[in-house]
């Protein structure tokens, strides 16, 4: 705890002077371009990994970066928290991009593969039900990258499954179809510090490096989105 308090003092003394004007401007409101959905894991640090500043990312985190899918009438079939974050980001903030970011060594994915890990943790066990589609996908279709351990194979497929879940919400699907919103899948490798992006045409996650950044289109091509999100047309927007 003392480390956290000293961290606040360090922030006040070292970083706040540089950011003071930005915070003052942000006190009037926020207009982030991106909803960033990722795991609660302490090793995934969005603002560090993306070099983003206050106001840049509207962030939603939970165990396993899961989004309970929508029913036909647009209501979450699970907890309302995730759907609320999606609705606020899409309808109020009008973000142009939603990123679902999974990661290596995810405890949630390990627990999906080994239900004994959640013995006695009834809420967690029920929550992880929302990763079952990914587990089914892994069992049926096999991994995207067979060199990865099983929990990482599941984690990569889970990114795609959660994008499917996002696309089950009418407000998301409609904005994607109109080219107002793009859905992106990323996967972070903790051991190397590398972020990877899903590339549909290659059916794999590819390293995000300088070459990727320079070759990537400004808006997403339909080929870079999971097939399930492409119904109704390609999306466009800031990439
Ligand atoms: Zn995780």
Q: Environment class of residue 61 by beta-carbon count within 10 Å: exposed (0-12), middle (13-18) or buried (19+)?
A: middle
What does the pLDDT read at residue 30?
96
| pTM for this prediction | 0.90
What does the pLDDT read at residue 127?
97
Measure the CA–CA gap between 186 and 212, rounded to whole angstroms. Answer: 13
Measure the CA–CA gap between 237 and 228, rounded to whole angstroms. Answer: 19
Catalytic annotation, residues: 39, 41, 43, 103, 106
Q: Which parts of the chain register pLDDT below 70?
A: 217-239
Q: Which two tokens stand for residue 93?
A: 């903030």
What are the chain's domains? 1-29 (no CATH), 31-229 (3.40.1050.10)
What does the pLDDT read at residue 218?
55
Cα 38 to middle of ligand 1, angstroms: 8
Helix (H, G, I), strand (E, B) or coil at 183: strand
Cα 89 to middle of ligand 1, angstroms: 22
Measure the CA–CA gap between 43 and 106, rounded to whole angstroms. Answer: 10
CA-wise closest residue to 62 among 87, 78, 81: 81
pLDDT tens across 177-199, in order?
999 999 999 999 999 999 999 99
The dihedral over CA atoms of 78, 68, 109, 227, expressed in degrees to the nearest 10, equals: 160
Buried b (16+ CB within 10 A) or exposed e, 5-19: eeeeeeeeeeeeeee
What does the pLDDT read at residue 226?
55
What does the pLDDT read at residue 216?
74
pLDDT tens across 68-90, in order?
999 999 999 998 999 999 999 99
Strand partners, 186: 101, 197
Cα 2 to middle of ligand 1, angstroms: 26
């Amino acid at each position: 705890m003392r480390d956290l308090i000293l961290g606040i003092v360090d922030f006040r003394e070292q970083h706040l002077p540089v950011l003071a004007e930005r915070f003052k401007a942000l006190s009037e409101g926020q207009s982030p371009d991106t909803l960033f959905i990722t795991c609660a894991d302490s090793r995934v640090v969005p603002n560090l990994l993306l070099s983003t500043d206050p106001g840049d990312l509207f962030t939603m985190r939970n165990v396993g970066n899961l989004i309970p899918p929508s029913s036909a009438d647009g209501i979450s079939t699970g907890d309302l928290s995730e759907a609320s974050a999606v609705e606020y980001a899409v309808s109020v903030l009008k973000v142009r991009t939603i990123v679902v970011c999974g990661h290596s060594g995810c405890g949630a994915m390990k627990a999906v593969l080994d239900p004994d890990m959640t013995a006695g943790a009834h809420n967690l066990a029920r929550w992880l039900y929302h990763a079952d589609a990914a587990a089914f996908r892994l069992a049926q279709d096999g991994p995207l990258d067979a060199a990865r351990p099983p929990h990482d194979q599941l984690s990569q497929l889970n990114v795609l499954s959660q994008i499917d879940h996002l696309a089950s919400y009418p407000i998301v699907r409609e904005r994607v179809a109109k080219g107002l919103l793009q859905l992106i899948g990323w996967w972070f490798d903790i051991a190397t510090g590398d972020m990877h992006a899903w590339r549909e045409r290659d059916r794999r996650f590819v390293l995000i490096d300088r070459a990727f950044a320079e070759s990537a289109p400004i808006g997403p091509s339909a080929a870079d989105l999971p097939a399930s999100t492409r119904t109704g047309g390609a999306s466009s927007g800031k990439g």
